[in-house]
Amino acid sequence: MANFLDTTVDELIENFEFLGDWEERFAYLIELGKKLPPLDESEMVEDNRVHGCQATVWLRMLPISGEPLAFEIRADADAFIVKGLIAVLLLVYSGRTAQQITATDCTETFARLGLDKHLSPTRRNGLHSMVSRIKALAAESVAQTV
């Protein structure tokens, strides 16, 4: 699926490595965040809230027609660095099938980006909440179709 970043995880990692210090890398994350398609006001509702993040985060999974069923993930936040992290998550998970989503561990991607070490523990918890939500929604949709 064409994505809004028009890049792959490997390219992203390459770009990240090219950047010198962490100030520049955070700046890059902010730029990724700016490219994230915003949610509509009507989607920013309690049902779509992901709790456990310091920022306010909303997340939706929309089925894409086809067999097996894949999902487009749409998410937004009120802080840009969090939006940047969401952009990375979407690159990993959006457009995949429920089975692929539940089987994919993003830990390695974040480790290769060095984000595992440079994100604060509270941010890592927030990220974990988002990944858990994505996987839970994927598992839920599988359970419903069976």
Partner 1 sequence: MNVPAETASLAKRDSVIDWAALRDDFPILRGTVNGHPLVYLDNAASSQKPQQVIDAIRHYYEHDNANVHRGIHELSNRATEAYEGARQRVADFINADSCDEIVFTRGTTEGLNLVANTWAFDNLREGDTILLTEMEHHSNLVPWQMLAQRIGAQLDFIELTGDDGQLDLQWLDEQLARARLLSLTHISNTMGTVNPVAEICARARAAGVVTVVDAAQSAGHTPVDVQAIGCDFLAFSGHKTCGPTGIGVLYGRRELLEAMPPYQGGGEMISKVEYRDVTFNVIPHKFEAGTPNVAGAVGLHVALDYLDAIGREAIFEHDQRLAKRACERLAEIEGIRLFGPAEDRSAVVSFVLPDAHALDLATMADQKGVALRAGHHCNQPLLAKLGVPATARASFYFYNTEAEVDRFIEVLHEVRKMFV
Name the residues annotated as catalytic: 53
The residue among 77 and 92 lying less far from partner 1, judged by its C-beta, is 77
Are the C-beta atoms of residues 87 and 5 closer than 8 Å to each other? yes
- Concatenate the DSSP letters of all residues of 24-92 into one string: HHHHHHHHHHHHSPPPPGGG-SGGGEETT-SS-EEEEEEEESSSS-EEEEEEEESSHHHHHHHHHHHHH
The residue among 12 and 82 lying less far from partner 1, judged by its C-beta, is 82
Selected range binding partner 1 among 4-12, 54-62, 95-103, 104-112, rule: CB under 8 A: 54-62
Using the rule CB under 8 A, which residue among 15, 80, 104, 141 binds partner 1? 80
When asked if residue 26 is in the footprint of partner 1 (CB under 8 A), the reply is yes
Judged by DSSP in three states, 120 sits in coil
Neighbours of 26 (CB within 10 A): 15
When asked if residue 81 is in the footprint of partner 1 (CB under 8 A), the reply is yes
Q: How far is the CB of 125 from partner 1 (least distance, A)?
A: 13
Contact residues for partner 1, defined by CB under 8 A: 21-23, 26-27, 30, 54-56, 78-82, 120
